[in-house]
Structures are given as C-alpha cells and as structure tokens.
Amino acid sequence: MKNYILYLALGLSSVLTSCANKEREVASSVLNSTATNQPIGSAKFFQLSDGKIKMDLEINMPERADSTVAVHFHEHGDCGNMGENTHGHWNPTAEAHGKWDSDTYHSGDIGNIQLDGKGHAEISVSTFRWSVADGDVKNIIGRGIIVHGGTDDYVTQPTGNSGPRIGCGVISAVK
C-alpha cells in the first residue's frame, strides 16, 4: 500500500510539474532578406504559464558571419520597400530608445545579436511587455521584426543608429 501511495504521489507531482512548465506557441514570424526575399531566420513566440511571452529568435546569415546585427520590432507588419514600410520602432510605452532591460527602452528594442563563424545566432527573451490579446496596447501581432545591418549604440534617438534594414518579418498569430 505504501508503494501505491508513493507512486500515486510521484505521478501526480509529475503531471502538475509538466502543466506548470507548459508553453503554448501563440505567434511566429519568418525573417527574409530585404535584398533577396530569401529566408534568413525565424521567431517563435510562446505564452508562458506565468503570463510572460517568450520569443525564441534564430538568425542564419552566412554572409554576415562573425558580425553583429541589431534586431527591433517595428510599428507595422509590412516588409515592402526593403523593410521601410514597417516604419519606426514599436514603442507602446513612449519611452526613450535603449538597451533591453535598462531603465528605459522600447518594448521592441531587442538589441545586438552576435552571429557566429557560420552566421548563426539564437536568443530567447521573455517579458511581460508583450501580449497577443486583441485590443491590448502591448499586442505584438502584426508588428514587423527588422534585422539591421549595423549595431545598436543604445543611445541615438529614436533608433540606436542601427544601420540599414537587411531582414524583415511579420509577427502572425498561430491558430
């Protein structure tokens, strides 16, 4: 009987732990080169059990090996005109441009990403600053993701002097 209760307790603990850590994919984006329209990466967004949204971003640009690129969310999800149709940085909190997790920064200021010797990088960001709820000012659905050809200086307003738009994607809801 003791073993039965022990196994039942372990099984219940396992179920509760797996439910608490569950992530649900809620949005995604394919990033394409603004010059060739060929895929250069992707972003997947997950609703976490604590209410945060997590983004897993992957970039593959062999032509940019061993360099740094800046990534930002932009206001509009329209990659036309070499990414210029995304307009300016997405900034629902009306803060100054800056480095992620500093005193002030745009909710879309992802920042600089170091590409390795093969032009590959992966980052993961989790925050309460994003939402996928209709009507929420923090809603990321329909926003553009821009990969810039330079680095973000985290100072120049409102863009960080990040260089040309070399990659673009649109954040779309996952149904």
- For residue range 102-145, what is the model confidence (pLDDT) as tens digits? 888 899 999 999 999 999 999 999 999 999 999 999 999 999 99
What is the distance between the alpha carbons of residues 38 and 20, in angstroms, rounded to a whole number? 38
String of DSSP letters for 101-119: TSSS--TTEEEEEE--TTS
Percent of the chain having pLDDT more than 90? 81
Full-model pTM: 0.86
Q: Which of 90, 93, 67, 83 is nearest to 150 (CA)?
A: 67
For residue 129, which of 92, 174, 170, 79 has the smallest C-alpha distance? 92
Classify residue 17: in a domain, yes or no: no
Judge whether 16 lies within some domain: no
The pLDDT confidence band at residue 8, using thresholds 50, 70 and 90, is very low
Cα–Cα dist 108/124, whole Å:
14
Residues 48-68 pLDDT 10s: 999 999 999 999 999 999 999
User: Whole domain around residue 50: which residue ranges?
Assistant: 23-173
The CATH number of the domain where 152 resides is what?
2.60.40.200
For 64-111, what is each residue's pLDDT tens digit?
Answer: 999 999 999 999 999 999 999 999 999 999 999 999 888 888 999 999
Q: Answer yes or no: is 29 within a domain.
A: yes
DSSP state of 131: B
